[in-house]
Structure 1
Amino acid sequence: MKSWKKIAVISMVVFAVALPGAASAEESMMAGYDYTKVNTIMKDGMELVPLREIAESLGYQVIWGDENRSITINDKKDMMMDDSMKDKTMDGMMEKGHSWMLQIGSTSMKDGEAEVMLEVAPMIVNDMTYVPKEVVDQHLLQPMMMK
């Protein structure tokens, strides 16, 4: 009878440890982006995705800098506050969200103040900017999951 109790206790411990991991893995899967709805391309074995289309669908503002072929992505918090919000902040200053800056042909990307290296530089194909899928997964989706 004692061995049956040991098995029951061990089983409960295993389930208690495994269940939270399974739940967080499921949450991570749900938080991903459905890339089947966008046209992707392959470059040097890496999947590239259309940046503006995905960023805007996630609620980000995308700004093209023609003079230096740069792309700035702003969190929607980067906007002027209306009068009803001014008294809740210092002097009605602009509430600052997060931003990213990329440049066509450069493997360096600014994530806020941090410099991030990309495996493949952003490129223009058919008048659309494509970036490695990891840029979306690691930089645009993660801040959304923290909100």
Structure 2
Amino acid sequence: MMKANKGKTLMMMAVLMLSLAFSGFAHAAALKTMKSDSGMELFHLRQASEMYGYSIEWNDLERSVTLVYMDKMDDSMMGDDTMMKDDKMMDDGSMMKDDKMLMPAGKMIKLWIDSKEIMIDGMKVTLDTAPAIYDGSTYVVEALITQYMKPAMAMN
């Protein structure tokens, strides 16, 4: 009888550990996607912006979306083991501040529907596929999310 309980407990612990380890993947997998006319996979912008701590504003006249990083971190984006120690020196000899550990590449992102050109912190960038509206929602290429919205992990 004890062996059965130990086996169940061990199984439950393994499942819990795996679910914690892959919680970040669950968020990414939960993003709505759709295929563009050219066959490119596009991702739901509002879901991504909420996941990575951006406010989102639609401008009807310009048919544009402006994202502003609001310094909010999703708990699943960083585990305790990825935190940098307070006394960790950076390459230039200066100390790294805790509030600068996870920052996205773009704090302000502006994009226009049907235009491949976007603005990242005032710099013009060209995407492979233009943002598009489907069923009243804006969809963008994965590169916009992974390269400009998703915070980079601090190096240990």
Indicate the TM-score class for this superposition, using the shorter chain for normalisation.
0.5 to 0.7
1:55 corresponds, among 33, 49, 72, to 49
Alignment deviations for residues 64-114 of structure 1 (CA, whole Å, 9 cap, x no partner): 11111100000115xxxxxxxxxxxxxxxxxxx820000001100001121
1:70 aligns with 2:64: yes
The CA RMSD over aligned residues, in Å, is 2.5
> What is the alpha-carbon distance in structure 2 between the residues aligned to residue 104 and residue 74 of structure 1?
17
Higher RCO (CA 8 Å, separation ≥ 6 residues):
2
TM-score, normalised by the number of residues in structure 1: 0.59
> What is the alpha-carbon distance in structure 1 between the residues aligned to residue 67 and residue 146 of structure 2?
14
C-alpha contact (below 8 Å) 1:50/1:131 kept by paired residues: yes
1:116 corresponds, among 125, 140, 143, to 125
1:37 corresponds, among 24, 27, 30, to 30
Taking structure 1 as reference, are residues 140 and 105 closer, same or farther at Cα in structure 2, changes over 3 Å only? same
Q: Which runs of 4+ in 1 moved over 4 A?
A: 29-33
Taking structure 1 as reference, are residues 102 and 31 closer, same or farther at Cα in structure 2, changes over 3 Å only? same
Which secondary structure does the structure 2 equivalent of 1:145 belong to? coil
C-alpha contact (below 8 Å) 1:108/1:118 kept by paired residues: yes
Unaligned runs of 5+ in 2: 1-21, 72-105
Matched AA of 2:33: T
> What is the alpha-carbon distance in structure 1 between the residues aligned to residue 52 and residue 116 of structure 2?
23
Aligned length: 99
Which secondary structure does the structure 1 equivalent of 2:153 belong to? helix
Q: Which residue of 1 aligns with 2:153?
A: 145
Rg larger for: 1
Higher helix share: 1
